[in-house]
A = this chain, B = another copy of it.
Amino acid sequence: MSRLRFLLAAVPFALATTCTPAVQRPRAGAAASAPLPSWNDGAAKAAIERFVANVTTLGGPGYVPAAERIAVFDDDGTLWAEQPVTFQLQFAVDRVRALAPRHPEWRKQEPFDRLLADSTKSFLASGGPAVAAAVAAHAGTTTDSFAVVVRDWLRTARDAKTGRPYSDLVYIPMLELLDYLRASGFKTYIISGDGVEFVRSLADSVCGIPPEQVIGSQGKLRFESRDGKPALVKLPEVQLLDDGPGKPAAIQALIGRRPLAAFGNSDGDRELLEWTWAGTGARLALLVHHTDAAREWAYDRDSPIGRLDKALDEASRAGWTVVDMKQDWKQVFPVR
* Chain A interface (Cβ < 8 Å from any Cβ of B): 15, 67, 70, 143, 187, 196-197, 200, 210-212, 214-215, 218, 220-223, 229-230, 232, 239-240, 245-246, 248-249, 252-257, 271, 274-275, 278
The interface residues of chain B lying within 8 Å CB-to-CB of A252 are: 15, 143, 197, 221, 232
- Whether B275 and A248, one on each chain, are in contact in the complex, defined by CB atoms closer than 8 angstroms, is no
- Choose among B197, B275, B278 the residue that contacts A256 (Cβ–Cβ < 8 A): B197
Q: How many angstroms between the C-alpha atoms of A252 and B240 in the bound complex?
A: 14
Please name 20 pairs of A and B residues whose Cβ atoms are closer than 8 Å in the assembled complex, sorted by A.
A15-B257, A67-B210, A70-B212, A196-B256, A211-B255, A211-B257, A212-B254, A215-B254, A218-B253, A221-B252, A223-B248, A223-B249, A223-B271, A229-B278, A230-B271, A230-B274, A232-B248, A232-B249, A239-B240, A239-B253
Among B215, B230, B245, the residue within 8 A (CB) of A278 is B230
5 nearest CB pairs, A to B: A211-B256, A223-B245, A221-B249, A212-B255, A218-B253
**A278 CB contacts on chain B under 8 angstroms:** 229-230
Count of this chain's copies in the oligomeric assembly: 2
Query: A254 touches which one: B249, B254, B257, B275 (CB < 8 A)?
Result: B254
Given A256-B197, A256-B212, A257-B212, also A245-B222 (CB < 8 A): yes
Residues of chain B within 8 A of A218, CB atoms compared: 253
**A211 cross-chain contacts in B, Cβ below 8 A:** 255-257
Chain B residue nearest in CB terms to A251? B232
Residue in chain B with minimal CB distance to A195: B253
**How many angstroms between the C-alpha atoms of A93 and B61 in the bound complex?**
42
Q: Are B15 and A256 in contact (CB under 8 A)?
A: yes
Contact B223 A275 (CB under 8 A): yes
CA distance A77 to B15 in the complex (A): 31
In the bound complex, CA of A206 to CA of B255 (Å): 18
A221, A240, A246, A271 pick with most chain B CB within 10 angstroms: A221
* Interfacial chain B residues near A232, Cβ < 8 Å: 248-249, 252, 275
Select from chain B the residue with minimum beta-carbon distance to A70.
B212
Cα separation A195 to B221 with both chains bound (whole Å): 20
Q: How near does chain B come to A228, taking the closest CB pair, in angstroms?
A: 10
B contact residues around A240 at 8 Å (CB):
239-240, 253
* Distance of A256 Cα from B198 Cα, bound (Å): 11
